[in-house]
Amino acid sequence: MYDLPTLEPIRRYKSIAVLTSGGDAPGMNPAIRGVVRTALHHGIKVYGVQRGYSGLINGDIHVLSSKGVSNIVQKGGTFLKSARCSEFHQATIRANAASQLRKLGIEALIVIGGDGSLTGAHLFEEETGLPVIGIPGTIDNDIFGTDDTIGFDTAVNTALNAIDKIRDTADSHERYFLVEVMGRSSGFLAVHVGIAAGAEMIVVPEFAVDVEAISLQLATSKRKGLGSSGIIVVAEGNAPGLTNRLAEQMAHHGHTPYVSILGHIQRGGHPSGHDRVLASCLGAKAVEYLLAGYSDMMVGVNQGQVVDVPLDNLTRYRKGLDPELLKIALQLHK
């Protein structure tokens, strides 16, 4: 597991709140539990905000107990519910959300979510002065400043489970499969899944799709006797329908791959052991960082250590794919 910092409490809080926002990720529940149980251990009252920033705006905020977070570590999704909330992009709405917290005497907020959610958290802190700590929770693993995010490991394993089965059909029918995985504008999930699945090719949004090159490589593999079946992992990208369009374009080059879109199965399911431990530690450390006087930061993982990352950095920098990992992925293709 990770090296964890020892943090000395220097600030007192009576009440804090926690919410989950953006796409749900397996491991959000153990992260909430980590926050709640650690806060209670330090004598802090904890509120849960329902449906992310929507619940903050509407005042859908309720006290959480130690028992209330029992029996949730193994459950996917988030029992606090999650949502995307376009109103939170407006500063006036964020000010209104802060007044909902202040009305209840809540002095700080912990936000569990992806890039967008943590950007919102940063603006919220900057404008309202309420201390905020972010916890990276997304299956995409695309958050700057952290090597890992809650839900990524589970999503990789869920996709692998499906691809191992798809490969049986690909082999039997001597066909290629284009398997679409999630990840929006980032290829982290695709590259990890592709390497672990022994994919014949990986298509990521960071590089333009070259249909001719893909078709040529399939033809070359066949000519060399390397087989005429396999798996091509495709990251969904920002434009829906990319994988079906790719299949149509490949048909113009004489290839007729099947398409399998894994979709939302990648978000659900029991969190892996790795994600449960990561989520529990990040939840606990989020509270400890608050007590140590930190704010406007995310608890991240850097080279095996749990670290503090200024939320501001998430808005200024973009996490890139590791070129060495890409090199390995390319070398391992047939």
Which distant-in-sequence residues (6+ apart) come within 8 Å of 267 by Cβ? 23, 24, 25, 26, 76, 77, 139, 151, 155, 182
Strands 108-113 and 61-64: unpaired
Site for ligand ATP contains 117 (CB under 6 A): yes
Q: How far apart are CA 132 and CA 124, in angstroms?
A: 8
Q: How far is the CB of 333 from ligand ATP (least distance, A)?
A: 28
216-219 CB contacts, 8 Å cutoff, 24+ apart: 217/333, 218/176, 218/255, 219/254
Encoding tokens for residue 231?
Answer: 């798996």
Q: Which of 217, 313 has the CB closer to ligand ATP? A: 313
140 part of the interface to ligand ATP, by CB under 6 A = yes
Helix or strand or coil: residue 320? coil
Instruction: Identify which of residues 186 and 243 has a Cβ nearer to ligand ATP in the complex.
Output: 186
In whole angstroms, the minimum distance from the beta carbon of 192 to ligand ATP comes to 16
Q: Count of CB atoms within 10 A of residue 226's CB?
A: 12
Question: Site residues for ligand ATP, window 42-71 (CB under 6 A)?
Answer: 53
Among 219, 172, 173, CA closest to 200: 219
Residues linked to residue 188 through DSSP beta bridges, in sequence order: none
Give the residue with the Cβ less far from ligand ATP, 115 or 288: 115
Q: Does 138 bind ligand ATP (CB under 6 A)?
A: yes
Among 115, 147, 148, 308, binds ligand ATP (CB under 6 A): 115
If the CB atoms of residues 52 and 230 are measured against ligand ATP, the closer one turns out to be 52
Per annotation, catalytic residue among 3, 24, 115, 140: 140
Annotate 182-242 with three-state secondary structure: CCCCCCHHHHHHHHHHCCCEEECCCCCCCHHHHHHHHHHHHHCCCCCCEEEEEECCCCCCH
Beta bridge partners of 112: 20, 135
Instruction: Count residues near ligand ATP (CB under 6 A).
Output: 18
Q: Does 300 bind ligand ATP (CB under 6 A)?
A: no
CB of 113 to ligand ATP, least distance (A): 4
Q: Does 154 bind ligand ATP (CB under 6 A)?
A: no
Does residue 114 interact with ligand ATP by CB under 6 A? yes
Residue 23 or 300: the one with the smaller Cβ distance to ligand ATP is 23
84 binding ligand ATP? (CB under 6 A):
yes
Amino acid letter, 273: G
Whole-angstrom Cα distance, residue 180 to residue 265?
12
* Residue with smallest beta-carbon separation from ligand ATP: 116
* DSSP assigned state of 177: E
Segment 250 to 269, residues that bind ligand ATP, using CB under 6 A? none
Which range, of 11-19, 95-103, 111-119, 173-181, touches ligand ATP by CB under 6 A?
Answer: 111-119
- Is 36 within 8 Å of 67 (Cβ atoms)? no
Q: Is 140 a catalytic residue?
A: yes
Q: Is 196 in the site for ligand ATP (CB under 6 A)?
A: no
Q: Which span sits near ligand ATP by CB under 6 A: 56-64, 107-115, 191-199, 238-246?
A: 107-115
Taking the C-alpha atoms of residue 150 and residue 29, their distance in angstroms, rounded to an integer, is 10
* 113 touches ligand ATP (CB under 6 A): yes
Token pair in block for residue 25: 């990720």
Tokens of 87: 């109103």
Please give the residues from 8 up to 47 whose contact with ligand ATP meets the rule CB under 6 A.
21-23
The nearer residue to ligand ATP, 30 or 257, going by C-beta atoms, is: 30
Q: Of 81-89, 165-173, 222-230, 235-243, which part binds ligand ATP (CB under 6 A)?
A: 81-89
Name the site residues for ligand ATP (rule: CB under 6 A): 21-23, 53, 84-85, 88-89, 113-117, 119-120, 123, 138, 140
Report the catalytic residues: 140
